[in-house]
A and B are shown apart, each in its own frame.
Chain A
Amino acid sequence: GAVVSQHPSRVICKSGTSVKIECRSLDFQATTMFWYRQFPKQSLMLMATSNEGSKATYEQGVEKDKFLINHASLTLSTLTVTSAHPEDSSFYICSARDGTLTGELFFGEGSRLTVL
């Protein structure tokens, strides 16, 4: 089946620094990728829809300048958490759908961000 790779799986950074998380579709092209955030013992909350070659669509309440999304190619989307603060500590997951498979969404392994 389709594979989505996410990197890094875990990152610890100091408050005020920026962190970039990559999401790659390994064996298919993804014109659309999704970024989610998950707090402990809570469900996945969609942050934004990343569209190849155009601006991301952010969900209500998600700061665009805080969470920069770039989808420069059909196989790569990046999420940059700018000027990270401890409250940004969370589990971030990306997902993508192979255009030939209706309905099935493939998830990356997730990235656990800890901001000290």
Chain B
Amino acid sequence: EDKVVQSPLSLVVHEGDTVTLNCSYEVTNFRSLLWYKQEKKAPTFLFMLTSSGIEKKSGRLSSILDKKELFSILNITATQTGDSAVYLCAVAPPSGFGNEKLTFGTGTRLTIIP
């Protein structure tokens, strides 16, 4: 059974701190790993990672994948209260284009204290 595990489950930090969220996976077939941010409603897409060692950046957020260790991290620097959310990691298999099923991790609930 495919498994995606995120740690920590929850994290509380002060505004301005840097945080690192972890995602490890055990899946039968792997194509890509995705990070999402979920606030009150639907998840919003952050990154898709397919190759090892290539960092993707978007503002204060960055992410990298290690396909050898089956691991990804999501970094957020200079955190702001708007970063408070649940961060979800998901893994996509290389099945037929357009109908790949994502396996989601448990999520990390990040709370930023002003």
Name A's B-contacting residues (CB within 8 A): 4, 6, 9, 31-32, 34, 41-46, 49, 51, 93, 97, 99, 102-110
Contact = CB atoms under 8 A, between A and B. Distances in A.
Interface string B73-114: 000000000000000100010000111011111110100000
Contact of B34 (A4, A42, A105, A110): A105
Contacts of A99: 97-98
Contacts of B42: 4, 6, 93, 107-110
B98 A31 contact: yes
B45 A43 contact: no
B68 interface: no
Nearest to B6: A43
Interface of B: 32, 34, 41-45, 48, 50, 88, 92, 97-99, 101-107, 109
B32 A110 contact: no
B101 A43 contact: no
A103 B106 contact: no
Contact of B102 (A6, A31, A51, A105): A105
A2 B41 CA distance: 17
Contacts of B107: 42-43
Given A44-B104, A93-B42, A103 B48 contact: yes
A101 B42 CA distance: 19
Given A41-B109, A105-B45, A109-B41, A46 B101 contact: yes
Q: Which 3 A-B pairs have the closest CB atoms?
A: A107-B42, A32-B99, A103-B48
